[in-house]
Amino acid sequence: MAVKALLSMFLSVGGTDISDHVRDCNVTADATALSSEAMGDAWEEVTGGVKSGMLNFTLLDDFAASSIDSIIWSAFNTGTNVAFEVRPDSAVVGTSNPKYTGSVHPGQWRMGGQYNTMAQKQLSWKISGALTRATS
Amino acid sequence: MAVQAVLNAFLYCDEWDATGDSRELALSADSTALDATTFRAAVAADNGWEITQGGAKKFTGSFNGFWRAATTPAPDAELFTNLGVTGRVLTQGMRESEGTVAYLSRIAQISYREFGAYNTLAPFSLNVVGSHNPGLVRGALAKAAGAVSATGALGTGIQLGAVGASQFLYATFHLLVAATTITVVVESDDNSGFTTPTTRATIGPLTVAGGTWITPVAGAITDDWWRMRVTAITGTHTVAGAIGIQ
């Protein structure tokens, strides 16, 4: 197996490929650890509960028509969940380049920055429903 | 598409052109992620995963820069005097250029911090929250801060698009330095030359510096070009304004 340098990640939001503005991107998936020990157990036990996830990403901001600010604001302002896809590489999906897909609640919009820095948006959107991994 | 460095963002708050006092701005809009998970999801594959639905939205912002006190609009007088005041008109964006994206809002200043360490330029910072619905409107800068002394088109005409039946037209106007009197209208047309304009809102006559949030104009309006125009003026004023449809 080979480790992977993240130089060409793929991220699409609402069907739009925004990879060329992505500075960093990660997906988290968590399962609730329900405490399930009972009398007679000397060690804590857990049972997996509901799963949830987050799509965290930082974008170089862009105010051109139909670009980053327009896309993010539109999703936020509309308020309905949007589809996303993340791949470690923009190359075709495969066993070494799985795609993670799902739906996210676009619950954050950001704008700003300090003088003489790049304008960026750092966003954390909550995944709604299943996070799916596929290799084809 | 072009990414951009933060070099000439702008920030107008009522009669205060904060652009020349500020060095950093951060605007945030959030909607509540309501947990809508049930024993059975609408889509079977989602069973066992949390389902999220958007709730109420809120707008918050923070700004900082160099502290200054003066009788003319300056951070100290503006921010201390208006602490807790709601409905202040705020127009901001990341590039002070007419036609570029501007966000329009009405805010309450909820905190003001001033001064700092030895041998530094005295700083200020403030936090604001949206005070009215809608919290934030995405539009465009129609008139960058500048002087005006004659009637006629003000700033740049913008092709913002038509106003849908469920949408409204919004506009902010900042009289940054007032002379005697000024009246401005927001007008639309179906062409960039504004050969047959229709007045959609009137601002003024204004005689003192301050911010104006027009009464939102309901759609549908099929015109897609928008601008501001001075219809009456006495003296030389410094003004700025933005228009949005949402």
Q: Which of B26, B48, B93 sits opposite A51 (nearest CB)?
A: B48
φ and ψ of B195, to 5 deg: -75, -25
* Cα of A3 to nearest chain B Cα, Å: 29
What's the pLDDT score for residue B57? 96
Q: Which amino acid makes up residue A88?
A: P
Q: Which of B3, B23, B27 sits opposite A111 (nearest CB)?
A: B27
Residue of A nearest to B60 (CA): A110
* Six-digit token string for B215: 């009464």
* Cα of B32 to nearest chain A Cα, Å: 7
Nearest to B175 by CA among B144, B210, B150: B210
Nearest to B23 by CA among A121, A59, A134, A115: A115
A106: cis peptide before it, omega within 30°? no
DSSP B22-39: EEEEEEEEEEEEEE---S
Chain B residues lying within 8 Å of A115, measured CB to CB: 6-7, 23-24
Q: What is the pLDDT of residues B42-57, one digit of tens each?
A: 888 899 999 999 999 9
Name the percent of chain A lying above pLDDT 70.
99
Name the percent of chain A lying above pLDDT 90.
96
Q: Does A54 touch chain B (CB under 8 A)?
A: no
Q: Which residues pair with A33 in a beta bridge?
A: A48
Provide long-range contacts, Cβ within 8 A and 24+ apart, for A44-51.
Answer: A50/B37, A50/B48, A50/B49, A50/B50, A51/A130, A51/A131, A51/B48, A51/B49, A51/B50
Residue of A nearest to B36 (CA): A128
Residue B130 contacts residue B105 (beta carbons within 8 Å): yes
Q: What is the pLDDT of residues B119-178, one digit of tens each?
A: 999 999 999 999 999 999 999 999 999 999 999 999 999 999 999 999 999 999 999 999
B4 and A81 in contact by Cβ < 8 A? Answer: no
Place of tokens 């009522």: B14
Q: Does B1 touch chain A (CB under 8 A)?
A: yes
Q: How confident is the model at residue B197 (pLDDT cuts 50, 70, 90)?
A: very high
Name the percent of chain B lying above pLDDT 70.
99
* Cα of B129 to nearest chain A Cα, Å: 14
Q: Does A105 touch chain B (CB under 8 A)?
A: yes
φ and ψ of B18, to 5 deg: -80, -5
Q: Is B76 helix (H, G, I), strand (E, B) or coil?
A: helix
- For CA atoms B34, A30, A106, A111, the dihedral sign is positive
A105 and B52 in contact by Cβ < 8 A? Answer: yes
Q: What is the ipTM of this complex?
A: 0.86
Q: How confident is the model at residue A1 (pLDDT cuts 50, 70, 90)?
A: low
Q: Which amino acid makes up residue B195?
A: T
pLDDT higher than threshold 80 for residue B114: yes
B25 and A113 in contact by Cβ < 8 A? Answer: yes
Residue of A nearest to B62 (CA): A112
Q: Which residues pair with B86 in a beta bridge?
A: none
What's the pLDDT score for residue B74? 84
Place of tokens 């403030």: B126
What's the pLDDT score for residue A121? 97
Q: Which alpha helices (H) appear in chain B, and where do they start and end? A: 75-81
Position with higher pLDDT, B74 vs A90: A90
* Six-digit token string for A55: 């799509």
Tell me the mean pLDDT in the region B227-238. 98
Chain A residues lying within 8 Å of B98, measured CB to CB: none
What's the pLDDT score for residue B1? 57
Q: Does A75 touch chain B (CB under 8 A)?
A: no
Q: What is the pLDDT of residues A12-63, one digit of tens each?
A: 999 999 999 999 999 999 999 999 999 999 999 999 999 999 999 999 999 9
Rounded to the nearest 10°, the torsion over CA A103, A105, A111, A116 is -40
B173: Cα within 13 Å, side-chain hemisphere: 25
Q: pTM to 2 decimals?
A: 0.91
A129 and B3 in contact by Cβ < 8 A? Answer: no
What's the pLDDT score for residue A114? 95
Average pLDDT, chain B: 95
B53 and A73 in contact by Cβ < 8 A? Answer: no
A119 and B94 in contact by Cβ < 8 A? Answer: yes
What's the pLDDT score for residue B70? 80
pLDDT higher than threshold 90 for residue B221: yes
What's the pLDDT score for residue B78? 84
Tell me the mean pLDDT in the region B20-43. 94
Q: Does B24 touch chain A (CB under 8 A)?
A: yes
What's the pLDDT score for residue A6? 94
A112 and B9 in contact by Cβ < 8 A? Answer: yes
Residue of A nearest to B33 (CA): A107
Q: Counting beta carbons within 10 angstroms of the beta carbon of residue A64, is it exposed (0 to 12), middle (13 to 18) or buried (19 or more)?
A: middle
A109 and B29 in contact by Cβ < 8 A? Answer: yes
Q: What is the pLDDT of residues B75-91, one digit of tens each?
A: 888 888 899 999 999 99
Beta pairing class for A99-105 and A108-114: unpaired
